[in-house]
């Protein structure tokens, strides 16, 4: 079991230390380990009936929630409903109720944005369901690395479709510039699309101030292939070695916890959600006729296709292919589109 694994208890202790440092906690003299035994600013009052909170992490049937207007944190029972069959996810705004010290989520608020991936049902992709990774996020940081693992623009394009789909603003972050220079030509395509990109090294700290400025006062989710440095970036931003680096998460029984995300608060209104173990990124519920809608640069040309349900593949008189041949749409983006279409 890794030493750096983040647990609800560690999170609570960390927060207690932090609020103590800021000097805004009435328990500033209390030992961190004792903080659950006293009531005061930022702590949960077990006699209260409940209130609103934000989900920070999911551990099995339990949701770790952060109470509003404070750094109090506790585990409560998750809630599954028809609208939310997987229950609350990190970033969800929830109503909680506490009875005799035991908490549970009683309702999940509407999601203004979400990042989703595909999850096969009974091993069959044809029955795949939407799996929400995080909700109510302002920014999705699409993390790629210059090398190890190699830079893959096609994966970035897939995440960009998910951002379009979920209503999340994307920021591309190319990590490991201490090992290799970023591919400026590949990245220029995203500049043309109006997508912000930034190059960093979580290792040396280069470029981290710009990334920090982009994420300040926002709820951001970090997504990307495993090994690109998501946890390292979060640790560099928060200045604490709080997340497991270089390994997939494991639960108490040593099983891989793929798909479980964890929220870290690095300033009172700045939240980061780490997403471990996302290996495949399927395109849930996007059919051949609508996939093109999630490529913003196609929009101006779509009306020019002869067929209204044109998939821009082999149909005659396709305006998207004409625009690509003319250089108005980047060839690499059109290739990404075709690859997703033909899955
Ligand atoms: N050279 C270099 N290595 C890095 C950098 N960022 C992360 N790494 C290493 O890449 C590996 C994967 O990092 P990790 O943060 O666990 O990636 P994650 O799977 O995306 O969370 C670890 O061995 C890190 O030490 C960087 O900027 N430069
Ligand atoms: Mg990680
Ligand atoms: Zn077409």
What is the secondary structure of 229-245 as a DSSP string? SHHHHHHHHHTS--S--
pLDDT per residue as tens digits for the range 61-99: 899 888 775 546 778 899 999 889 889 999 999 998 888
Instruction: Say what the pLDDT of residue 220 is.
Output: 95
Pocket of ligand 1 (CB under 6 A): 175-176, 178-179, 201-203, 226-232, 245-246
Instruction: Say what the pLDDT of residue 248 is.
Output: 39
Question: pTM value?
Answer: 0.77
Confidence of residue 249 (pLDDT cuts 50, 70, 90): very low
Instruction: Say what the pLDDT of residue 45 is.
Output: 52
Annotated domain spans of the chain: 8-108, 114-274, 291-341
pLDDT per residue as tens digits for the range 198-231: 999 999 999 999 999 999 999 999 988 888 999 8
Range 291-341 has CATH code 1.10.40.50: yes
Percentage of the residues of the chain whose pLDDT score is greater than 90: 45
The CATH homologous superfamily to which domain 8-108 belongs is: Nucleic acid-binding proteins (2.40.50.140)
Ligand nearest to the backbone CA of 288 = 3
pLDDT per residue as tens digits for the range 18-60: 433 333 333 333 223 222 333 333 445 544 567 888 898 888 8
* SS3 labels along 65-79: EEECCCCCEEEEECC
Q: Read off the tokens for 236.
A: 């560099």
Choice from 202, 240, 264, 274 to test ligand 1 binding pocket (greatest atom count within 8 A of CB): 202
Query: Is it true that the peptide bond before 149 is cis, omega within 30 degrees of 0?
Result: yes
Q: List Cβ<8 Å contacts ≥24 apart for 298-302.
A: 298/323, 298/329, 298/337, 301/328, 301/329
Cβ-in-10-Å burial (0-12, 13-18, 19+) of 41 comes to: middle
Ligand nearest to the backbone CA of 202 = 1
**Among 7-16, 45-54, 242-251, 322-331, the range of highest mean pLDDT:** 322-331
Instruction: Say what the pLDDT of residue 124 is.
Output: 55
Range 114-274 has CATH code 3.40.470.10: no
Q: What is the mean pLDDT of the chain?
A: 78
Confidence of residue 264 (pLDDT cuts 50, 70, 90): confident
Does residue 252 register a pLDDT over 50?
A: no
Confidence of residue 240 (pLDDT cuts 50, 70, 90): low
Strand, coil or helix: 168:
coil
**281 CA from centroid of ligand 3 (Å):** 25
Does residue 238 register a pLDDT over 60?
A: yes
**334 CA from centroid of ligand 3 (Å):** 11
pLDDT per residue as tens digits for the range 108-153: 999 999 988 765 555 555 555 678 889 999 999 999 999 999 999 9
Cα-only R_g, the chain: 22
Instruction: Say what the pLDDT of residue 119 is.
Output: 58
Closest ligand 1 atom to residue 200 Cα is 27
**288 CA from centroid of ligand 1 (Å):** 36
Does residue 287 register a pLDDT over 80?
A: no
């Amino acid at each position: 079991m890794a030493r750096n694994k983040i647990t609800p208890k560690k999170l609570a202790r960390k927060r207690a230390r932090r609020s103590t440092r800021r000097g805004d906690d009435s328990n500033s003299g209390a030992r961190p380990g004792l903080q659950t035994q006293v009531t005061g600013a930022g702590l949960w009052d077990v006699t209260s009936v409940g209130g609103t909170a934000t989900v920070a992490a999911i551990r099995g049937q339990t949701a770790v929630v952060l109470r509003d207007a404070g750094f109090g944190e506790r585990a409560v029972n998750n809630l599954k409903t028809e609208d939310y069959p997987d229950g609350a996810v990190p970033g969800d705004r929830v109503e909680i109720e506490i009875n005799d010290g035991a908490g549970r989520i009683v309702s999940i608020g509407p999601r203004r944005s979400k990042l989703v991936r595909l999850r096969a049902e009974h091993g069959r992709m044809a029955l795949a369901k939407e799996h929400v990774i995080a909700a109510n996020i302002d920014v999705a940081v699409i993390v790629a690395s210059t090398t190890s693992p190699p830079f893959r623009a096609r994966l970035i394009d897939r995440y960009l479709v998910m951002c379009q789909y979920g209503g999340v603003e994307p920021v591309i972050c190319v990590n490991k510039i201490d090992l290799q220079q970023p591919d400026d030509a590949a990245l220029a395509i995203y500049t043309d699309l109006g997508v912000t990109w930034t190059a960093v090294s979580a290792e040396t700290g280069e470029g981290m101030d710009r990334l920090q400025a982009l994420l300040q006062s926002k709820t951001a989710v970090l997504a990307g292939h495993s090994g690109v440095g998501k946890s390292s970036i979060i640790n560099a931003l928060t200045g604490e070695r709080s997340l497991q680096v270089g390994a997939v998460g494991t639960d108490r029984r040593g099983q891989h916890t793929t798909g479980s995300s964890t929220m870290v608060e690095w300033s009172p209104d700045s939240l980061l959600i780490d997403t471990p173990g996302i290996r495949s990124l399927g395109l849930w519920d996007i059919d051949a006729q609508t996939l093109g809608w999630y490529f913003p640069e196609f929009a101006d040309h779509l009306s020019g296709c002869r067929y209204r349900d044109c998939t821009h593949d082999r149909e005659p008189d396709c305006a998207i292919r004409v625009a690509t041949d003319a250089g108005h749409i980047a060839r690499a983006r059109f290739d990404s589109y075709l690859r997703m279409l033909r899955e």
